[in-house]
Chain A
Amino acid sequence: MADQKASTSIEAVESGLAAQGYIASRQIATAVYLSQQIEKPILVEGPAGVGKTELAKAIAAWRGKKMIRLQCYEGLDEAKALYEWKYAKQLLYTQILKDKLGEVLGGAQTLHAALDQLHDFGDVFFSKEFVEPRPLLQALEQPGGCVLLIDEIDKSDAEFESLLLEILSDFQVTIPELGTVSAITPPTVILTSNSERDLGDALKRRCLHLHIGFPEQRLEERIVESRVPGISQTLRRQMVGFIHEIRSLDLKKLPSVSETIDWARVLVLLQASELDTDIVKDTLNVLLKYEADIEAATPQVTTFIAKAARSNVFG
């Protein structure tokens, strides 16, 4: 019974994401389903441009939740990611309230008594009013839950990872002056990484580890179909086949899904009905981002087109 439910739910995830224009493989759908069921963040790894960030956007759109994005970079710290005190506001308020303070403390005879009275108002300047919530805190405070995207976590420092641990495992943060803030509704957390550096085991342990590679030919065709509706089926097949051939080359930067989509758009704009050598050579710079790569690929273009066309006949 439970098994039946599971596989239909995974299909539901797949079709839900597809409705947002994100064609997910079975693995991705399983990961999304599981993260929902056992409330664990997903750590997505893979080459640039395979749709890691897009996945978070699609999930947010599908569930109708807000997406909060935290872009990581070197030197990102607590004050920019979690919360900060509004110093200026605090300062301003103390100035404005000076008279009021005088009134309050007026009744006190001695310095000691004044201090005691002040203590009663105590932490008024270190209350929620003066906290500037940054993405992580914002995500916890969303009443309806949200999708929290922590993008390119590998770019941040190792200390920042440790800061995330509390949020990832318990969905709460501790602010020394205020205490612990727990999530109203646990957010769906997606972390992405380009594997620029190895993440700590503690972080990895708290996440489901999803690796998105380059998609299979069929899947990529479906992705192009959903993203660039104007393209004809023959051209779609040919271009995806061509890109798969290109990926077999030893290049500096292999074209990924985002390049495929860009190229499809370009071909549609140029009103190409099928691939030929000239048009490919003219538009190769959309696919390949390095001069050396273009030089390496150019001599192969004709054979690749022929191959793609041939596979098209049988496929």
Chain B
Amino acid sequence: MRENLHRFFRAARGAGVQVSPAESIDAMRAVAQVGLTDRAILRDALLLTLAKSQDEKLALGDCFDLFFSQPEPRLDQPEANDNDEASQDADQSSSPTSDNEAGGGQPQDGLGPLAQMLLSQDRNAIQAAIASASGAASLSDIRYSTQRGIFSSRILDAMGLQRLRDDLDELTATNPALAERLRGALDALREAVRDTVSQGLALYAREEAENLRNEILRNAPLARIERRQVAEMRALIRQIARRLRERYSKPRKRQRRGHLDVRRTLRRNAAWGGVPFLTAWKRKHRDRPKIVALCDVSGSVAQVSDFFLLLIHSLHEVVDDVRSFAFSSHLIEVSETLEKKSPEEAMAEIMSKVGFGSSDYGSSLVDFEKDFMSALTPQTTVIVLGDARSNNLDPRADILRRISERSKRLVWLNPEGRLAWGFGDSEMPRYATFCSVVRQCATAQQLERAVSDIVATYQ
């Protein structure tokens, strides 16, 4: 039983449910209490002890159903295991004699255990043998779909395929009809094993595959992402947003140690005639970040801006106030569109208004100064996301200087690599002099770091 539960825990981890050793101990204790006979209760007990949110419950429920969708014999596995080992031993010791007997014209008795099992059509025994063999081949270590072949053959080997082949060779000579039957049964067995392995892959390998995919996705350049990956990337960005929220939404009140707040102390102790039993200390309130984001949505930068805006607008708990502006040849405010609509719709609307034009940083900055300069306060961080390629038009770096002077920080995120800055029509070096930070921001990982650093300066 314990073996099976351990395998289930691995499968649960594969399904994305965090199962720590302590939780697995709790689950074991719970299972010891409720027993294994009633599957519904067992399911409830495992869900209660292992899952920690509604999503996890659903995932774990699916995982449970998949895990126990195999036929019953799994539960009797320890015995099956013993049988199997015993019969394998018997098999080895008895093989010379059985060969002799086979020559004596009693083919049924002379066959190896696997062949006998297949011929007798004992389905339960076959399933049990597959289960124990997959245990022996440590199927729960399977990680990638490319490993399917090797695990299938390992399981078949553990079941005694070699012996079966010998039997087959012999039978073809002595009893062709029986050999034909056996061959058919072997094909069926191969299929059953393949199914077992596929199920194992579905159970145990999900987490690994997901990690690998996310890792690749995190480091893929956002601008050149494929269409089918956009949805996955959005999910990844949401994950990043959740992580940042968890990290930075912790209380910002921190005591300024050692400074007595005389007023509050006196008021609090009025009941004791002003004898200060309870002291109150001065606190320092930290500002929540205020962010003004200017995003280039022309051509190649558009995709990066899309993900950046999605990230910034998913940070409600952390960021007090976000105002977003999109520009290519001119600039408009897009905060409301982003707040009200789903990311897909909002982006489509923004694109139809200002997107895909040739970028003109100069006139966009003029637009900003004309209408929105008042949005900047000394607590504001201004983030400009763009490649600073202004088609050789006037860059108006003087406006950027004024923006920089009015705000707390000015951060420029450039999707292009450092090497490209200043070449061709890139105005990056001229803008860079007025920025507090300029950094490359081409992948999800860089995006996460950039936003994390910006929020961290307020902590």
Instruction: Write the residues of chain A forming the contact surface with B, with a CB cutoff of 8 angstroms.
Output: 2-4, 6-7, 10, 26-27, 30-31, 33-34, 37-38, 40, 45, 87-88, 91, 157-159, 198, 201, 204-205, 208-211
Contact = CB atoms under 8 A, between A and B. Distances in A.
Contacts of A205: 20, 22-23, 52
Query: Main secondary structure on chain A at its contact with chain B?
Result: helix
Interface hub of B37, B271, B275, B278 (most chain A Cβ within 10 A): B37
B20 A34 contact: no
Given A40-B26, A209-B53, 14 more contacts: A2-B35, A3-B35, A4-B35, A6-B33, A6-B38, A30-B34, A31-B48, A34-B33, A34-B49, A38-B33, A201-B18, A205-B23, A208-B49, A210-B48
Contacts of B45: 30, 34
B44 interface: yes
Nearest to A40: B26
B258 interface: no
Query: Main secondary structure on chain B at its contact with chain A?
Result: helix
Contacts of B34: 3, 6-7, 10, 30, 33-34
A157 B272 contact: no
Contacts of A45: 53-54
Nearest to A30: B44
Contacts of B32: 2
Interface string B364-405: 000000000000000000000000000000000000000000
B26 A3 contact: no
Nearest to B18: A201
Contacts of B53: 45, 204, 209
A304 B202 CA distance: 42
A208 B41 contact: no
Nearest to A87: B277
16 contacts: A2-B33, A3-B35, A4-B35, A7-B38, A7-B41, A26-B40, A31-B44, A34-B49, A37-B29, A87-B272, A91-B275, A204-B52, A205-B20, A205-B23, A210-B48, A211-B54
B41 A30 contact: yes
B192 to A, nearest CB: 30
B44 A27 contact: yes
A38 B30 contact: yes
Contacts of B23: 205
Contact of B26 (A2, A38, A91, A201): A38
B51 interface: yes
B248 to A, nearest CB: 13
Contacts of A157: 251
B36 interface: yes
Contacts of A2: 32-33, 35
Interface in B99-133: none
A38 B34 CA distance: 11
Contacts of B47: 27, 209
Contacts of B250: 158
Interface in B247-305: 250-251, 271-272, 275, 277-278
A34 B33 CA distance: 8
Contacts of B22: 205
B57 interface: yes
B52 A201 contact: yes
A26 B47 CA distance: 13
B41 A6 contact: yes
Which 4 pairs of residues, A with B, have the shortest CB-CB distance? A3-B35, A3-B37, A204-B52, A30-B44
Contact of A209 (B51, B246, B272, B277): B51
A244 B453 CA distance: 48
Nearest to A46: B54
B15 to A, nearest CB: 16
Contacts of A204: 52-53
Contacts of B41: 6-7, 10, 26, 30
A45 B246 CA distance: 20
A24 to B, nearest CB: 12
A305 B282 CA distance: 61
A37 B27 CA distance: 12
B240 to A, nearest CB: 16
Nearest to B23: A205
A217 B57 CA distance: 22
Contact of A37 (B18, B33, B277): B33
Given A3-B34, A211-B57, A34 B277 contact: no
Contacts of A40: 26
Nearest to A2: B35
Nearest to A25: B44
B21 to A, nearest CB: 11
Given A2-B35, A10-B41, A34 B52 contact: no
